[in-house]
Structure 1
Amino acid sequence: MVEGWAVQVAEVELSSTLPRRWAHTQGVAKRAAEVSQVLGQDAGLLAAAATLHDVGYAPRLAATGFHPLDGARFLRDEHEADERLVRLVANHSFALLEAEERGLREELASEFPLLEEPLLVDALVYCDMTTTPDGDRTTAEERVAEILSRYGDDSVVGRFIRRAAPEIFGAVGRVEAALAAQPR
């Protein structure tokens, strides 16, 4: 089962070296379970991507210092992971905008093209951006504010998150609308 494999990989890479990142990852995976009903057969793919989205932060994997790219390369090269999964990890939460800030946009875009699956991409944004660093539920607005306060307005991440905020809020809103439209 892909999700079980994803948990094993993420736990090995994050739990001992980055326990707070591991707590965030576990919270993002919980959000994925909550939105699975709107994804049908892609629910397992979302669960795996949610579990692995930050694996590139692991110190041994941080080749470029840009976690979406480092994580995607690790999953592709060391695990021969599913291409859709690798592309989701590489591009999670509007990573192309941050890649641009880091001078890595062309590298990311050519190596890991965006998936043309809007609800799946939005669902991963929703899971990531409604989860605190400690794994608790939050709003996208609070999460963006927390990221800005942690990194600062003039940092690479601060510039990226300010640019990405409207896209993040849009993605979260679309997932919330899809969830609200589900029969109870």
Structure 2
Amino acid sequence: MAITDVTARAYELAESLLAEPLPRRWSHSLGVAQRARSLQGVLGTDAALMEAAAVLHDVGYSPRIASTGFHPLDGARFLRDQEGVDERVVRLVAHHSCALLEAEERGLKTELAAEFELERPALVDALLFCDMTTTPDGGHTTSEARVSEIVGRYGPDTIVGRFIQRAAPEIHAAVQRVEGRLTATQEAG
């Protein structure tokens, strides 16, 4: 299956899992995919793959497939086992936005790491950038504001609150790396 077909299928699948039960999560996913499209110049041949991963990154929240309560793992397992989605897309979903740190908070780090290899760092950074510079409603934001919003929404002493605070330095560093690549590409063009 061509990667453009994978991307088209990703939108259909994400919409079927998120649009009705979780419309705000669906809006966020569409915004993350839009951010991914903005990275085409830096991603080259991986641009369509990134867009597919971006629109699918939060499908693990869907009540139809949530099982562990840890959406990167639930989503990746579903995409791999039930939908046969491209392996690289599945790996990106499994490890999006510092998922290993949250998995550690949940006692699932060994499980996540054993089941899903990390994708190459530039793509991991790109998906992190797309997710952490997109608001819950799909608009653009800074990584600082996004981390603050997540801590405020979940609370600083919750699993998600603790994880995102620990992950914040890596989130901001990844965003800076992607912004640096964008600037270099624009200056070269």
Do both proteins adopt the same fold according to a TM-score greater than 0.5, normalized to the shorter chain? yes
What does 1:70-109 align with in structure 2 at a 5 Å threshold?
Answer: 70-109=74-113
User: Residue 68 of structure 2: SS of its match in structure 1?
Assistant: coil
1:130 corresponds to which residue? 133
- Kindly report structure 1 stretches of 4+ aligned residues shifted beyond 2 Å: none
1:164 corresponds to which residue? 167
2:34 corresponds to which residue? 30
Aligned equivalents of 2:132, 2:27: Cα separation in 1: 14
Quote how far apart the aligned CAs of 1:108 are: 0.3
**Aligned partner of 2:6: which letter?**
V
Quote how far apart the aligned CAs of 1:5 are: 0.4
State the superposition RMSD in angstroms: 0.6
Percent sequence identity over aligned pairs: 64
Quote how far apart the aligned CAs of 1:119 are: 1.1
Quote how far apart the aligned CAs of 1:114 are: 1.3
Q: CA offsets, 1:57-80, max 9 Å, x none?
A: 000111000000000000001111
Quote how far apart the aligned CAs of 1:83 are: 1.1
User: Residue 60 of structure 1: SS of its match in structure 2?
Assistant: coil
- Give the alignment's TM-score, normalised by structure 1: 0.98
Gaps in structure 1 of 5+ consecutive residues: none
1:62 corresponds to which residue? 66
2:181 corresponds to which residue? 178
Quote how far apart the aligned CAs of 1:82 are: 1.3
What does 1:142-161 align with in structure 2 at a 5 Å threshold?
Answer: 142-161=145-164
Gaps in structure 2 of 5+ consecutive residues: none
What does 1:12-27 align with in structure 2 at a 5 Å threshold?
Answer: 12-27=16-31
Quote how far apart the aligned CAs of 1:154 are: 0.3
Aligned equivalents of 1:33, 1:83: Cα separation in 2: 20
**Aligned partner of 1:161: which letter?**
I
Aligned equivalents of 1:86, 1:145: Cα separation in 2: 28
Quote how far apart the aligned CAs of 1:142 are: 0.2
1:47 corresponds to which residue? 51
User: Residue 79 of structure 1: SS of its match in structure 2?
Assistant: coil
